[in-house]
């Protein structure tokens, strides 16, 4: 399958909380790929000013549905919330 849509999560995470946030990424990366309908890729990008997670999906419908999934609402978001210095910026993109 081919990536047709992306969900980008841009998170402000203080340096002392980045290891904990990276652990959440590594813990839930494979379950995301195995369990979330339409999930194709997931990458962690780290910059001095923020941390980004880029999720690739087979459709925009599946990208948006992920935010309502049990994996996200019951596991990923609760685990990440204590690491955030500000609310995350979530962006969706269609592949042209």
Q: For 23-78, what is each residue's pLDDT tens digit? A: 999 999 999 999 999 999 999 999 999 999 999 999 999 999 999 999 999 999 99
Domains of the chain with CATH codes: 5-94 (3.30.70.100)
Query: What are the backbone dihedrals phi and psi of residue 66, each rounded to the nearest 5 degrees, phi first?
Result: -55, -40
Residue with tokens 């309502």: 68
CB hemisphere CA count around 86 (13 angstroms): 10
β strands within the chain, DSSP E: 5-11, 39-46, 51-57, 89-94
1: confidence class by pLDDT, cuts 50, 70, 90 = confident
7: confidence class by pLDDT, cuts 50, 70, 90 = very high
Cα-to-chain-centroid distance, residue 45: 11
The pTM of the full predicted model, rounded to 2 decimals, is 0.94
What pLDDT score was predicted for residue 82?
Answer: 97
Look at residue 4 and tell me whether its pLDDT is greater than 90: yes
- Alpha-carbon distance 83 to 79, whole Å? 8
């Amino acid at each position: 399958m081919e990536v047709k849509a992306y969900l980008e999560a841009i998170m402000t995470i203080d340096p002392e909380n980045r290891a904990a946030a990276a652990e959440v990424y590594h813990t839930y990366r494979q379950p995301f790929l195995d369990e979330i309908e339409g999930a194709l890729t997931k990458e962690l990008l780290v910059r001095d000013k923020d941390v980004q997670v880029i999720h690739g999906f087979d459709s925009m419908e599946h990208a948006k549905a992920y935010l309502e999934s049990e994996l996200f609402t019951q596991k990923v978001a609760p685990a990440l919330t204590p690491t955030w210095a500000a609310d995350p910026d979530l962006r969706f993109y269609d592949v042209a």
